[in-house]
Amino acid sequence: MKSKLNNKNPSKLVYYLAKPLLKVYLKKRITTRVLIVKNNQVLVIKNAISSGHLSLPGGGLKKKEQPQDALVREVKEEVGIDLEDDRLIYKGIYFAINDGLKYRYHLWFYKLVEDQPIIRRPVEIIDAFWIDIAEVSNYKISSELTNSLQNWLNSTNLIK
């Protein structure tokens, strides 16, 4: 059986070494995530320190920061996309488990109307790109992405 650490990706090694600390840290923290959709595609990211699953843009809240403000800031920092506050659709707080790590996150939907270039933050984000919704199952994706896509597909007012 091939070991999860048997690869040449140092960020994966860091992830697995830090995993015990992440379990404690994520238990107390709530984050933000957004499902950004454009022309039947969804924007996905691959974090530098992760198990390798594709996930949604977003991140943590600073002290006294409102979740939506944190989301807008994090998306701008991670992928360079400006979100318009009045076009964000809040879906609620969700729970996810990825590679044994449990965490809570605020989820929003956002339909991108105008193209904006993806300008990823190289220290934090290894990759950011659009994938066709119909092809998502061909990728190794996080449970938050799986759940968010299912939620979006079930939302009749957003499918147009």
All residues at 6 or more sequence positions from 120 whose CB lies less than 8 Å from its CB, including other chains: 45, 78, 79, 80, 127, 128
Higher pLDDT, 8 or 111: 111
In the predicted model, is pLDDT for residue 52 greater than 90?
no
Percent of the chain with pLDDT over 70: 78
pLDDT tens, position by position, 95-143: 887 767 778 899 999 999 989 999 988 788 999 999 999 999 999 999 8
In the predicted model, is pLDDT for residue 1 greater than 70?
no
In the predicted model, is pLDDT for residue 34 greater than 70?
yes
**Under 8 Å between Cβ of 67 and 58:** no
In the predicted model, is pLDDT for residue 5 greater than 50?
no
Instruction: Give the burial class of 11: count Cβ atoms within 10 A of its Cβ; 0-12 exposed, 13-18 middle, 19 or more buried.
Output: middle
In the predicted model, is pLDDT for residue 74 greater than 60?
yes
Please report the pLDDT score of residue 20 as a whole number: 56
Please report the pLDDT score of residue 10 as a whole number: 58
DSSP string across 3-15: -TT-SS-HHHHHH
Higher pLDDT, 98 or 3: 98
Percent of the chain with pLDDT over 90: 51
In the predicted model, is pLDDT for residue 4 greater than 50?
no
Please report the pLDDT score of residue 6 as a whole number: 44
